[in-house]
Chain A
Amino acid sequence: MIRINCPYCGERDHSEFSYGGDATINYPSLDASEKEWTEAIFFRKNIKGFQFETWHHSNGCRMWLVVERSTVTHEIKSVKPSHPDLQKIVENNK
């Protein structure tokens, strides 16, 4: 079991969460080329090692999180709210 330290709820089993995917995708502008959109939607780095990824606390606070986790050892380095403004609020409330 992976334990994810949700910034809103505290440390919980990963079975409370749903895995989203790569958190580093930058979607292009609406008028960008098909090639750019194809790259953003379908192509992945698929990192072997530490990666930033999204998790949804679907059986908890239902907030989206960005987790830095190793895809080899499953060790977690950091957990943050996915929205940058919420990140600031959480940081300020520490």
Chain B
Amino acid sequence: MTKFNAWNVIKNGLNGQSYWTRQWRDPEPKSSYDVVIIGGGLHGLATAYYLAKNHNIKNVAVLEKGWIGGGNAGRNTTIVRSNYMMPGNHEFYEHSLKLWENLSHELNYNVMFSQRAHVSLFHSPGAKDSVSRIYNIMRLHGTDAELWDLKTLKKKIPHLNYHNSRFPILGAAVQKRAGNARHDAVAWGYARAADTLGVDILQNCEVTGFTRKNGNIESIQTSRGIIKGKKIGFAVAGNTSVLWQMAELGNLPIESHKLQAFVSEAVKPLLDQVVVYGVGGAHFYISQSDKGSMVFGGDLDWYKSYAQRGNLPMVQDVAEAAMAIFPSLGRIRLLRHWAGVMDMTMDGSFFICKTPISNLYLNAGWNYGGFKASPASGWYFADLIANESPHNYVQNHNLERFEKGINIDERGAGPDPKLHG
């Protein structure tokens, strides 16, 4: 694998770009591995990378039923932030944000992480109080957080609709270190870096069954043959329940819902921040990609589904929210919209935990928050797999928390997965 640096750029520039090697190998599956990660999304790839990097476990395979970057890794709105308040969550997402800040150097791959600020508008005094509490908790834990009054906000983003009488903009809660990144680059960067450390990335390798022995999973049946793993990790958010039931483990506190995202034609620079119309208003988030497209999204489609395609009432809903907050978008044309399948959990928080099978580990339940979480998710999942015990930050992110009554319900919405958006 050729390293990306100035020297190689110049050398290849003078040689017709002929010395670049492929980004990662396309190996044949070996018969057994120390760790097999099922799911070649951002979380699976990050896990494999940190297993090799932090824990020196390099005999690792990542099984992907499609291709790298073809699932939810390519179906998100690329927002990175750490504005969480619940114990466990804020430390975890803050660690993730710190990993993002150095990710391009770490992976030798430009993930185009842009800390352009995440601006959550609030629309009522109650919403201001509520978000102030969350952002104060963040500050107490050393995360950057601030409130912008209307004057500051108008100066920073003059073209919002400040005359919306139903949801008047009163100000915004802002995290300046937040922003977005290029989703494909993150997937490719992790895949390339993991591959360089010796990880086998097996694409078009769908898991079809498990063979159990003495209570453990001995081997995995796949579309590319039988693969043995001493330890096995699930990182297939969206389809976790399917795999869980394939392993005959019963039910999970998860429902699969689909979330749509939208991208417009490219326009000249219009928006420098990630703007969220969310606190005490509708649910809408928007940013502008480096290419110039407006990238935005809204709520779930409100009914359980494994279909990776969206429904029209939500297209209308999102378009209405866009017009309410950003009337200048009225004439912009939509290029594409798509849906990804989310693991929506019963309290809106994720799982990085052990399972009833002693050599099986679970990484699931990412709700709306999977993209920004991927570096820390890989970090702590690798830590769990290597050290057999969860790090303090994720010690309650397990399946037992519901019975114990220690739900991590950031939104306070109760046990209804579709409400944890």
**Contact of B334 with A by CB under 8 A:** no
Q: Which of B254, B256, B303, B402 contacts A48 (CB 8 A)?
A: B256
Residues B371-388 near A (CB distance < 8 A): none
CB of B303 within 8 A of CB of A43, answer no
CB of A45 within 8 A of CB of B305, answer no
CB of B303 within 8 A of CB of A14, answer yes
CB of A43 within 8 A of CB of B251, answer yes
Q: Which of A2, A18, A73 contacts B311 (CB 8 A)?
A: A2
**1/0 contact trace for B289-306 toward A, CB 8 Å?**
000000000000011111
**Contact of B280 with A by CB under 8 A:** no
CB of B306 within 8 A of CB of A48, answer yes
Q: What's the Cα separation between A51 and B415 when bound, in Å?
A: 20
**Contact of A11 with B by CB under 8 A:** no
**Contact of B248 with A by CB under 8 A:** no
Count chain A CB atoms within 10 A of each CB in B303, B305, B402, B415 and give the residue with the most. Answer: B303
CB of B254 within 8 A of CB of A46, answer yes
Chain B residue, CB-CB nearest to A47: B241
Q: Which of B252, B307, B312, B403 contacts A46 (CB 8 A)?
A: B252
Residues B245-303 near A (CB distance < 8 A): 245, 250-256, 302-303
Residues of A within 8 A of B346 (CB): 41-42
Check A38/B403 contact, CB under 8 A, given A43-B251, A44-B251: yes
Residues A69-85 near B (CB distance < 8 A): 71-74
Chain A interface residue count, CB cutoff 8 Å, equals 25
Chain A residue, CB-CB nearest to B316: A15
**Contact of B16 with A by CB under 8 A:** no
**Contact of A34 with B by CB under 8 A:** yes
Residues of B within 8 A of A14 (CB): 303, 311, 313
**Contact of B416 with A by CB under 8 A:** yes
**Contact of A35 with B by CB under 8 A:** yes
Chain B residue, CB-CB nearest to A51: B304
Q: Which of A2, A19, A44, A51 contacts B252 (CB 8 A)?
A: A44
CB of A35 within 8 A of CB of B256, answer no
CB of A71 within 8 A of CB of B306, answer yes
Q: Closest Cβ of chain A: how far from B342's Cβ, in Å?
A: 12
**Contact of B9 with A by CB under 8 A:** no
CB of A39 within 8 A of CB of B251, answer yes
Residues of B within 8 A of A41 (CB): 346, 402, 415
CB of A1 within 8 A of CB of B252, answer no
**Contact of B242 with A by CB under 8 A:** yes
**Contact of A21 with B by CB under 8 A:** yes
Chain B residue, CB-CB nearest to A37: B403
Q: What's the Cα separation between A72 and B417 when bound, in Å?
A: 18
**Contact of B418 with A by CB under 8 A:** yes
Residues of B within 8 A of A21 (CB): 255, 304, 416
Q: What's the Cα separation between A39 and B242 when bound, in Å?
A: 18
Check A48/B253 contact, CB under 8 A, given A19-B303, A38-B402, A71-B305: no
Residues of B within 8 A of A19 (CB): 302-304, 418
**1/0 contact trace for B18-47 toward A, CB 8 Å?**
000000000000000000000000000000
Residues of B within 8 A of A35 (CB): 403
Q: Closest Cβ of chain A: how far from B31's Cβ, in Å?
A: 30
Residues of B within 8 A of A2 (CB): 303, 311
Residues B210-252 near A (CB distance < 8 A): 239, 241-242, 245, 250-252
**A to B CB contacts below 8 Å, 18 in the list:** A2-B311, A15-B313, A19-B304, A21-B255, A21-B304, A35-B403, A38-B403, A41-B346, A42-B346, A42-B415, A43-B252, A46-B254, A48-B241, A53-B303, A71-B305, A72-B305, A73-B307, A74-B307
Known: A44-B251, A45-B251, A46-B254. 12 other contacts (CB 8 A): A13-B313, A19-B418, A38-B402, A42-B253, A42-B415, A48-B239, A48-B256, A53-B303, A71-B306, A72-B307, A74-B305, A74-B307
> Across chains A and B, which 6 residue pairs bring their CB atoms closest together, nearest first?
A46-B241, A43-B251, A19-B303, A42-B402, A38-B403, A15-B313
